């Protein structure tokens, strides 16, 4: 019987950065969580991905270790702050993975790095997020009534059953989720020069927030390769048992191919 060696998990290195140090790793995968999500959304990735891949997760204000802080209300300062926090880690081989709203933040950080002629991510993985042009046409849900907004968020999933049934927990979580939706739904995305990093869009085939006909537009934002990976499931396909294994296998193959 083979015994899996569990490696130390994500540890907070700064307000924005949680990291699972891998001194001998070949690639660093920097992960940007979904609306209302924290860095711990990627805790299981540390042991699911091989030791050659070092996992870093972004922790935004208003959640988990930063629960006492107000969520961001402007995108540009947030992008600047995240980029500054990441600079010491933008060495060697690295890529960005962003899920849902996190994909938009990852893209904006990449745009800023390109504008500054800074280090380039080798790959951008945009998960469960329509292209900027398609996203601008979606109905805005942050302006719904509290009851309607909660119902819409619950329809997307992403909360485990215990949390979803705990009214007090949901009362604490929903305002941060709402703040993130308001942040990005009111923001005009930066459309700069084409990025010369490949973009892969990863999406669940039944995702109502990122239907398959809204994702191809990401190809207009790169001068390098573009492809899509479609998985069983909905908006949070990547956390579904079985599908998560497919995601890990794809990321490992793609990141370590070179």
Residues with catalytic annotation?
Answer: 100
How many angstroms separate the Cα of 230 from the Cα of each of 65, 106, 208, 257? 33, 20, 14, 20
Residues 201 and 176 sit within 8 Å (Cβ to Cβ)? no
236/34 Cα distance (integer angstroms): 9
* Non-local CB neighbours of 198 within 8 Å, separated by 6+ positions: 122, 123, 124, 222, 224, 225, 226, 227
Q: Report residue 16 as tokens.
A: 């924005």
Do the strands 17-19 and 124-127 form a parallel or antiparallel pair, or are they unpaired? unpaired
């Amino acid at each position: 019987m083979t015994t899996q060696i569990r490696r130390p998990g994500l540890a907070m290195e700064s307000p924005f950065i949680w990291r699972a140090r891998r001194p001998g790793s070949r690639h660093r995968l920097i992960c940007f969580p979904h609306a209302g999500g924290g860095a711990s959304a990627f805790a299981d990735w540390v042991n699911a991905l091989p030791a050659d891949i070092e996992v870093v997760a972004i922790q935004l204000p208003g959640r988990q270790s930063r629960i006492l802080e107000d969520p961001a209300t402007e995108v540009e300062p947030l992008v600047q702050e995240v980029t500054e926090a990441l600079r010491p880690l933008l060495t060697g081989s690295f890529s960005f993975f962003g899920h849902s709203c996190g994909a938009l933040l990852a893209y904006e950080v990449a745009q800023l790095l390109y504008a500054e002629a800074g280090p380039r991510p080798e790959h951008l993985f945009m998960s469960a997020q329509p292209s900027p042009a398609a996203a601008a046409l979606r109905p805005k849900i942050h302006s719904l009534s509290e009851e309607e907004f909660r119902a819409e968020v619950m329809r997307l999933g992403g909360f485990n059953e215990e949390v979803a049934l705990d009214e007090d927990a949901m009362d604490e979580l929903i305002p941060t989720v709402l703040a993130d939706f308001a942040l990005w739904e009111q923001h005009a995305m930066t459309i700069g020069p084409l990025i010369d990093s490949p973009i892969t869009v990863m999406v669940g085939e039944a995702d109502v927030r990122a239907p398959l006909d809204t994702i191809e537009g990401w190809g207009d934002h790169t001068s390098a390769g573009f492809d899509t990976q479609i998985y069983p499931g909905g908006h949070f396909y990547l956390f579904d048992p079985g599908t998560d294994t497919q995601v890990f296998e794809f990321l490992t193959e793609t990141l370590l191919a070179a």
